[in-house]
Amino acid sequence: MVAPPPSLATIAWVFMLIGMQSFGGGLSAWMRLEAVQRRHWMSEQQFASGMALCQIAPGPNSVNLSVFIGTTLRGRLGALAALLGMLIVPVVVVLVMGGLFARVQGVAAVNSAMVGLGAGAIGMNLAMGVRMTRANIGGKISAAVALVVAVSIGLVGLPLLPVLLVMLPVSLLLARFSK
């Protein structure tokens, strides 16, 4: 059950709401709720395959997903409406917060709180890794691939590109022979 494609204004408006609701991440979940569940713009299967594509493609997943949905609904202009709609409010808010922060920087209490906040924010990344492990790490081989990538970039400090050039083919090859 898929509804007729919405107007560009509707796409921009819905994605603006999604952008505003997404405090602390979770953009993809909001997009699924609106595009599939509430508005029937696409089927569950269409959405899932789009998510997979956006994970394979470079770039921020949630931003990619907005482009994918927009493209599916109304081509080039639909993609622009979804992308700009989703980013407009967060961009303004983040820049205002950055500007405000620059003014109170140097106050010892603020700096301490920001270090704590940073520590918590790093925890968000690590926790996302833990949660992704359940679906993406199936055995010792895939765990070893993830470990090599994490250590070589995160601890040894190797740059991303050479690591990917080696580990992507290795991982794809291993996935071909496992299971």
Partner 1 sequence: MVTAVLLKLAGLFATLSLLAFGSANSVIPDMQRAAVETYRWMTEREFLQLFAISRIAPGPGSLVVALVGQKVAGLAGAAVATLAMFGPSCLLVHLAAGLWHRTRNASWRARVERGLGPVAVGLIFASGLALMRGTEHGAAAIWLTLAATAVLAWTEWHPLLVLAAAGLAGWGLGL
Q: Residues 74 to 93: which contact partner 1 by CB under 8 A?
A: 76, 79, 83, 86-87, 89-91, 93
Q: How far is the CB of 11 from partner 1 (least distance, A)?
A: 14
* Alpha carbons within 13 A on the beta-carbon side of 100: 7
From 1-9, 31-39, 69-77, give the range in contact with partner 1 by CB under 8 A.
69-77
Instruction: Kindly state the smallest distance separating residue 20's Cβ from partner 1, in Å.
Output: 6
Name which position in 49, 77, 104, 162 contacts partner 1 (CB under 8 A).
49
- d(CA 38, CA 84) in angstroms, rounded, equals 21
Cβ atoms of 19 and 26 closer than 8 Å = no
User: How far apart are alpha carbons 102 and 111 in whole angstroms?
Assistant: 11
- Residue 157 near partner 1 by CB under 8 A: yes
Give least dist CB 1 to partner 1, A. Answer: 19
Q: Is the dihedral of CA 148, 151, 156, 161 positive or negative?
A: positive
Size of the site for partner 1 (CB under 8 A): 100
Q: Does 94 bind partner 1 (CB under 8 A)?
A: yes
Q: Is 122 in the site for partner 1 (CB under 8 A)?
A: yes
Which lies closer to partner 1 via its Cβ, residue 20 or residue 33?
20
List, as one string, the DSSP characters of 95-156: HHHHHHHHHHTT-HHHHHHHHHHHHHHHHHHHHHHHHHHHHH--SHHHHHHHHHHHIIIIIS
Nearest approach in angstroms of CB 53 to partner 1 is: 5
Please state the closest distance from residue 146 (CB atom) to partner 1, in A: 4
8 A C-beta contact, residue 19 and residue 92: no
33 touches partner 1 (CB under 8 A): no
Cβ–Cβ < 8 Å for 74, 11: yes
